[in-house]
Amino acid sequence: MNTNPSTCAYRDGHYVLPPLPYDPAELEPLLDEQTVLLHHDKHHAAYVAGANEAAEHLRRVQDGDLPPSAAPDATERLAFNLGGHILHCLYWESMTPEDGEQPMGDLADALNRSFGSIEGFQRVFRAVTLAVQGSGWGVLGVDPASGLLRIFGICRHHDALIPGFLPILACDVWEHAYYLRYHNNRAGYIDSFLSHIDWEHTHQRLTAICHES
């Protein structure tokens, strides 16, 4: 799955856990400080560690220290953990402590062109993300064929729904992301997320994708 995560996600040959772009208490009332800290420092960090471990196993296969039969499992674990790492980087940057912001400029034009209106985007995003079975993600990204923005529900970190899909916004709906604050009210969490989207960063990611294509 291609995306434009923080450049701090990989450094000196290793995947690294980037710092949060805000103080963990600043996301109130969207998320409480305890949830943010546990999510970032424990869950996200575990995906970083898993990605590094799997990448090391692949290097050992390359060097002949592990048998070739170890490669498929290591590749699967790298895909899952790296997918989680990349999506979490995107998730943290998708939220802002500010409330009530609206998309502007090219991003607003793209949302209107793709969904008819900002409200149309919100309706589709809410419905798709709410309907993700079990744990997963609601993701907004660029369709490489049409150039339109599309929304998909992702049940596993490394599910690439279409080749070349380029995410620019992600909402984590694994229960650890919201359960302390919202319990089983996923809809309430998604509604709060939609009112705290960092549209400036989302716009920057869209602009970067357009410049690269």
Tell me if 170 is assigned to some domain: yes
pLDDT averaged over the chain? 92
Span 146-171, average pLDDT: 88
Structural domain includes residue 200: yes
Banded pLDDT at 131 (limits 50, 70, 90): very high
Q: Domain with 119 in it: what CATH number?
A: 3.55.40.20
Does the pTM surpass 0.75? The reply is yes
- Confidence band for 7, pLDDT divided at 50, 70 and 90: low
Domain count, the chain: 1
| CA-wise closest residue to 82 among 6, 163, 1, 4 | 1
What are the tens digits of pLDDT across the range 163-209? 888 999 999 999 999 999 999 999 999 999 999 999 999 999 999 98
Residue 125 has pLDDT above 90, yes or no: yes
Asked if 77 contacts 50 with a C-beta cutoff of 8 angstroms, the reply is yes
The DSSP letter of residue 178 is T
Helices then strands, each counted (H, E), the chain: 8, 5
- State the residue range of the domain holding 178: 105-212
Asked whether the predicted pLDDT for residue 1 surpasses 60, the reply is: no
Distance CA 103, CA 101 (A): 7
* Helix, strand, coil content of the chain in percent (nearest 5): 55, 10, 30
Look up residue 57 and give its amino acid: H
**Alpha carbon distance 102, 150 (integer Å):** 19
Residue 57 within a domain? no
Q: Indicate whether 95 belongs to any domain.
A: no
